Amino acid sequence: MCILSLTKLGIKGLDDILNQIYRGSIILVAGNPGTGKTTIGAKFLYEGLRQFNENGLYLSFVETKKDFYRNMLNLGMNFESYEKDNRFKYIEAVTVTDINALIDLLQEVLNMIDKLNAKRLVVDSISAVMQMGDKDEGKIRELMHNFFYRGPKLKEVTTILIAELPYGKKSVGYGIEEFITDGVVILKSKIIKRKLIRLMEIRKMRGNEISVGEVPFIIVPNDAVVINIPESTRGMPSATNPESVIKLKFKYSDYKIEFPKGSQTLFVIHPSIDPLIISSSLGTSIIHAEKYKVIYRSYLHGEKTVKDRFEMCAKNLSLNNKEIGELISVVSINPTKYSVDELYYIINKLEENIKPNIVVVEGLETLYDLTSRESFINSQYNGLIKRMVNGITGYYFTRGTKENLLDIPLINFYDNIINVEPVITSEGRFVKIEPIRIVMKAAPFFEILVNADYIEKCINM
């Protein structure tokens, strides 16, 4: 009995979805021009070289070696260095246009597989090959069948077969899907609110039970291809028996609010109140006392405004304002510049590098207004889960009112919900802080009135 060994594609995210890739598998990657087919193929080869010590070949009928090397280097993949070590070979076949030349070329590829002891192959593209047959597609199809059986299949060389997907069509054509492919992946792109969104549809993959049929992905420098898959809830902290809590106390009140480590809290701020004055007045002394590392991400204010505000609060509270500046990393983001998936990648990289105790996000409503509802909800939901699992306590500030709470996306998923609104009395201006929901509390309802001048000036807090 022949037992085939397993391999990984080496593409983070995709390997989590497809964990049963047998050596010698042939995977069809199809899509319209510009959807990322060449980059996916190159990433598959590069990670084979880098991670798994698997030599590889790239056979291209559509791109010169010079262009390929330059384009991939821009994405952080240096194929030239592996070529110098005799571990990688780029076969440029843009001038091959007839069947006789193709036959010679395919024999050269088989010889090169043996010479390099290659375990990975990319053919780019099968569409260009099929067009050589003119009116005799059957002969080309038979030739390619024989090649794949004699080469990749028998030699257990895992192969990505790239194909052009004509605009407006759902199938590749040429009977390609009836080839000896073990998997079919379709790449798509669309424009949503002026931003490019890339999607990967996994139509089939032998040996895998596919639960996620379509995932977003991005193409970025250094990492080349990043696939955003749903985050695992494994490792979420206990709200019943938390590791630690962050206590929010008020000088002129017996009430306090406790936030378990890893909990996620939504502050619903009345539109008349600037969320920055709330976050800074409530948070400065806690950050300073506990020496928490904080990422403050704003979709409303510039970095200097946020830094100046926290330093002013530290000064008015007689704290070390320089130390506050060192504890808080401020990031101001223009959400029209990135897709939600690109933002998710940037945010994850930032949190992985800084490893904060606390993340504060200001201006969620701005991000929501400038992205699609589905993309926002998927990204925010997975971000909440990831921070819970990593033990990062999150505070999110969005403009809204108590009457419209149910209109806020994911309102039922946050551990804590706190409403903040202005109140005018005969005694002056106040800000009412009112917990609507507190994790593991049955009746959290109480109100705290704080003098608006104190909040604006960060005094007597």
DSSP-derived letter for residue 353 is H
CA distance 376 to 367: 8
The pLDDT, as a whole number, for residue 461 is 65
Q: Residue 335's pLDDT is what?
A: 93
- Contact (CB, 8 A) for 414 and 396: yes
Residue 281: per-residue pLDDT: 95
How far is it, in rounded angstroms, from Cα 66 to Cα 17?
33
**Which DSSP string do the residues of 65-124 spell out, in sequence order?**
HHHHHHHHHTTT--HHHHHHTTSEEEEE-TT--SHHHHHHHHHHHHHHHHHHT--EEEEE
Q: What's at 229, amino acid-wise?
A: I
Q: What pLDDT, on a 0 to 100 scale, did the predictor assign at position 177? A: 59
The domain segmentation of the chain, as residue ranges, is 6-227, 245-457
In which residue are the tokens 């509390």 written?
441
Query: What per-residue confidence (pLDDT) applies to 1?
Result: 45
Fold classification of 6-227 (topology level): Rossmann fold (3.40.50)
β pairing state of 256-260 and 245-249 = antiparallel
Residues 266/414, Cβ–Cβ less than 8 Å = yes
Positions of the chain with pLDDT under 70: 1-4, 133-135, 168, 170-171, 173-179, 460-461
| Separation CA 76–CA 61 (nearest Å) | 23
For residue 422, the tally of other CB atoms under 10 A from its CB is 12
The whole-number pLDDT of residue 24 equals 94
Instruction: Give the torsion through C-alpha atoms of 386, 391, 395, 396, to 10 deg.
Output: 0
> Per the omega criterion (within 30 degrees of 0), is the bond before 81 cis?
no
Tell me if 6-227 shares its fold with 245-457: yes
CB contact burial 53-77 (16+ within 10 A = b; e otherwise): ebbbbbbbbbbebeebbeebeebeb
Reported as a single tens digit per residue, the pLDDT across 233-279 is 999 999 899 999 999 988 777 888 999 999 999 999 999 999 999 99
Strands 294-298 and 358-362: parallel
127, 164 in Cβ contact below 8 A? yes
* pLDDT score at 179: 64
Residue closest to 176 by CA, chosen among 28, 33, 61, 21: 28
Domain 245-457 -> CATH class: alpha beta
